[in-house]
Amino acid sequence: MGRSHRAKIGKSKLGEVIERSKKVLGIPSDYILGIVPASDTGAIEMAMWSMLGPRGVDVLSWESFGSGWATDCKNQLKLKDLRLFKADYGCLPDLGQVDWTHDVVFTWNGTTSGVRVPNGDWIAPNREGLSLCDATSAVFAMEIPWDRLDVVTWSWQKVLGGEAAHGMLALSPRAVKRLQEYSPERPLPKIFQMTKGRDLIAGIFEGETINTPSMLCVEDALDGLRWAETIGGLPALIARSKANLKAIEDWVAKSQWAGFLAADHAIRSSTSICLKIVDPAYRALSADDQAKHAKAIGSMLEKEGAAYDVGAYRDAPPGLRVWGGATVETSDIQLLLPWFDWAYGEVKKAF
Ligand SMILES: Cc1ncc(COP(=O)(O)O)c(C=O)c1O
């Protein structure tokens, strides 16, 4: 780890992250995959900054991260021919409204609402625009129809539980063509630049990172990928995440007080599993009191050492959120659920 990332050995490790990721995820052989600065945010923003502009853009959002990309398109990129489709926490916007002559930006899994797109059937196979997908809390835990996606981004710290560092950026041949044929007017910082003149900087997609990566994080990313291979690859990862959701679904089915933010099973995330409190006594409380009591559940569980960071995301409706990604043991989730019942019972005494 003390060696330079530009040394042969360092470069080969970075190349190995790319090759193993492609293999585990089943990325088509004509797609390229790069390691880019600034985690998933860096990856999706460099794609948006580099590619958007030559045609209309539709942005779909249904929670805070997707809303962030919509804000980027409106206020930062100031795109002229822009349509924003928003839905509330727990729902998806109408996917049928998308115009596939436009470029389309969306998240596969809205991490803060626990709502995912159900599949890729709504994405036109013969689209004229590009589909740009932030899939950070979906890849390695959900089926991704690669042929329907032109730009796919993720980070190391989500489903494979690695150390946070650089982002991953997968590009279809049509996305590469866009980079080669379109130069935006806007200034691009060095960490967003994927072309030199009209030429793709191919090294980025072979392990020559734009700036210095942490080789410790690179080793950890490799460790996660090797683990994924040993447990049976993508099908096993997906099965583990699904089992985590199932454990919570079984509990919710019997619960008097907990429900899913995503009411529809088809769009319910198996990684960021978001719960709301449906008990009528709780729903009768003021919004402030609801927020206070939901927060108290998280604090009590943390104090007991039973669960950490299970509170809903700060912009989401009050509730609980459980990470159900592939690294999580279903048995741990099963152990957690009685703690939820206990904490809610304690909190309810204070209503
Ligand atoms: C859907 C989604 N997009 C983007 C991000 C930001 O990712 P990063 O911190 O890797 O840049 C997150 C983080 O949780 C996310 O869930």
Atom of ligand 1 nearest to the CA of 154: 10
User: What is the H or E stretch that residue 276 is in?
Assistant: strand 272-277
The pLDDT assigned to 1 comes to 87
Decide: 61 in ligand 1 pocket, CB within 6 A. no
Q: Specify whether the CB–CB gap between 306 and 261 falls below 8 A.
A: no
As a whole-number percent, the residues of the chain with pLDDT over 90 amount to 98
pLDDT in tens, 5-15: 999 999 999 99
Tokens matching residue 106? 């969306």
> CA–CA separation, 37 vs 156, rounded Å?
12
User: What is the H or E stretch that residue 152 is in?
Assistant: strand 151-155
* DSSP code of residue 73: I
DSSP string, 205-244: GTT--SSPPPHHHHHHHHHHHHHHHHTTHHHHHHHHHHHH
Q: Specify whether the CB–CB gap between 71 and 197 falls below 8 A.
A: no
Rounded mean pLDDT, 75-87: 98
Give residue 166 CA to ligand 1 midpoint distance, Å.
Answer: 12
Answer yes or no: is pLDDT of 255 > 90: yes
Answer yes or no: is pLDDT of 270 > 90: yes
Answer yes or no: is pLDDT of 266 > 90: yes
Sign of torsion over alpha carbons 154, 44, 197, 149: positive
The pLDDT assigned to 44 comes to 99
pLDDT in tens, 291-343: 999 999 999 999 999 999 999 998 899 999 999 999 999 999 999 999 999 99
Q: Specify whether the CB–CB gap between 208 and 11 falls below 8 A.
A: yes
Three-state SS for 47?
Answer: helix
Which of these, 110, 118, 115, 157, lies nearest to 135 by C-alpha position? Answer: 110
Three-state SS for 102-121 is: CEEEEECEECCCCEECCCCC
Query: In which residue are the tokens 């210095």 written?
Result: 212
Residue of 48, 59, 65, 217 with the most ligand 1 atoms within 8 Å of its CB, for mutation: 65
Residue type, position 118, single letter: P
Answer yes or no: is pLDDT of 256 > 90: yes
The pLDDT assigned to 12 comes to 98
Decide: 136 in ligand 1 pocket, CB within 6 A. yes
Atom of ligand 1 nearest to the CA of 41: 11
Answer yes or no: is pLDDT of 132 > 90: yes
Give the N- to C-terminal CA distance of the chain in Å, as an integer.
Answer: 54
Answer yes or no: is pLDDT of 278 > 90: yes
Answer yes or no: is pLDDT of 168 > 90: yes
Query: What is the average pLDDT value for the chain, to the nearest integer?
Result: 98
Atom of ligand 1 nearest to the CA of 164: 10
b/e per residue 23-46 (b: at least 16 CB within 10 A): ebbebeeebbbbbbbbbbbbbbbb
* DSSP code of residue 137: T
The pLDDT assigned to 315 comes to 87
Phi, psi for residue 50 in degrees, rounded to 5: -85, -30
Ligand 1, atom 3: closest residue by C-alpha: 65
> CA–CA separation, 118 vs 112, rounded Å?
16
Give residue 65 CA to ligand 1 midpoint distance, Å.
Answer: 7
Of the pLDDT bands very low, low, confident and very high (cuts 50, 70, 90), residue 267 is: very high
Rounded mean pLDDT, 71-88: 98
